[in-house]
């Protein structure tokens, strides 16, 4: 019998159990991505946590996280994971129904979204059985760094690039981000506090965080890059760079600044000796997908959100 209990704050021992379960899933699925500092991934902090056990067994067999704050459109967002050696026993369906009940969305089902990272076939079957359908696709695009690298970025007249300065540039960057991504379920809600918190993570590198500004010093856009450590289940087990976020203020769009920022970041990642670069882009953003394809990127993976 499944024994599932909700908690809005994990104890130290519970967090360790969740991390052990996530590690077991990562070893099979390559997901979720796990920080190198031994902490839980950021998407599993805060909110509500569902810890599931089978009577008579000591280890967690399932875990779900519910983001009670929701996305930018007020949808509650959930993630759920079944321990690999306990899958195909109906536990996923039980966890899903527990998430639906906790989210309180039976009367308004479109206010809940559930992630399937890597478009796992088991998640697709579970979604069909529990009344969910694909509602959003987030593409992972990939490129091998060309031997000749990428060309120098061509900036619009009167625009220059510089590196982000921690403690100075957070507010200007977040203001541009909010305007550039006012349509996006997650990115547009980025806060100054979240940027400052990220600055403390081991992967943060201001040298790979480019700002574009005009002659008066007004920030017009940015490209935030990231480097992922090797993951044996993804991209050949090699470290990989990421076009983490590229944002351009609406008034500066259409003049080639986005491409210039993207190219500057790609050149930085190549200079670090990385052989591969990835990025995430909304599957229905045809214009952005076309830009990245012209830079050599191709579709590699897809993350799916399911909704009822």
- Contact assessment for residue 85 and residue 41, using Cβ atoms and an 8 Å cutoff: no
> How far apart are alpha carbons 207 and 139 in whole angstroms?
26
Does 295 belong to an annotated binding site? no
Q: Give residues with Cβ within 8 angstroms of 169, minimum separation 6.
A: 211, 219
Question: Was 82 annotated as part of a binding site?
Answer: yes
Which residues, in sequence order, are bridge partners of residue 240? 228
Beta strands in the chain (DSSP E): 2-7, 48-54, 62-67, 76-82, 112-116, 133-144, 159-163, 209-214, 219-228, 240-248, 276-282, 298-307
Q: Is 62 annotated as a binding residue?
A: no
- Measure the CA–CA gap between 266 and 231, rounded to whole angstroms: 21
Rg (CA), the chain: 20
User: Was 258 annotated as part of a binding site?
Assistant: yes
Q: Is 187 annotated as a binding residue?
A: no
Query: Annotated binding residue at 197?
Result: no
Length of the chain: 308
Spatial distance between the Cα atoms of 50 and 247, rounded to a whole number of angstroms: 35
Asked whether the beta carbons of 62 and 81 are under 8 A apart, the reply is yes
186 is annotated as contributing to ligand binding: yes
242 is in an annotated binding site: yes
226 marked ligand binding residue: yes
Query: Is 256 part of any known ligand binding site?
Result: yes
Burial label, 71 (beta-carbon count in 10 A; 0-12, 13-18, 19+): middle
81 known ligand binder: yes
What residues form the annotated binding site for acetyl-CoA? Answer: 80-82, 246-248, 253-259
What residues form the annotated binding site? Answer: 80-82, 186, 226, 242, 246-248, 253-259, 280
């Amino acid at each position: 019998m499944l024994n599932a209990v909700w908690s809005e704050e994990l104890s130290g021992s519970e967090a360790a159990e969740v991390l052990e379960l996530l590690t077991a899933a990562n070893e099979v699925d390559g997901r979720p991505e796990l920080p190198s500092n031994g902490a839980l991934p950021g998407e599993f902090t805060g909110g509500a946590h569902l810890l599931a056990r089978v009577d008579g067994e000591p280890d967690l067999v399932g875990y779900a996280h519910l983001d009670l704050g929701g996305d930018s459109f007020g949808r509650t967002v959930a993630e759920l994971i079944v321990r690999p050696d306990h899958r195909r026993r109906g536990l996923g369906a039980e966890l899903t129904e527990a998430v639906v009940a906790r989210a309180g969305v039976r009367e308004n089902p479109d206010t809940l979204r559930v992630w399937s990272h890597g478009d796992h076939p088991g998640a697709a079957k579970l979604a069909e059985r529990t009344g969910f359908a694909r509602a959003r696709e987030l593409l992972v695009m990939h490129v091998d760094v060309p031997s000749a690298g990428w060309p120098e970025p061509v900036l619009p007249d009167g625009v220059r690039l510089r590196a982000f300065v921690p403690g100075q540039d957070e507010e200007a960057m977040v203001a541009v981000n909010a305007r550039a991504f006012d349509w996006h379920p997650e990115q547009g809600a980025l806060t100054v506090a979240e940027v400052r918190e990220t600055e403390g993570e081991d992967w943060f590198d201001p040298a790979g965080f480019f700002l574009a500004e005009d002659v008066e010093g007004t920030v017009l856009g940015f490209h935030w890059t990231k480097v992922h450590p090797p993951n044996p289940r993804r991209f050949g087990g090699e470290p990989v760079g990421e076009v983490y976020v590229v944002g351009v203020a609406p008034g500066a769009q259409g003049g080639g600044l986005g491409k210039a920022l993207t190219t500057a970041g790609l050149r930085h990642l190549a200079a670090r000796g990385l052989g591969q670069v990835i990025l995430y882009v909304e599957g229905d953003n045809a214009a952005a997908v076309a830009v990245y394809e012209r830079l050599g990127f191709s579709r590699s993976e897809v993350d799916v959100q399911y909704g009822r």
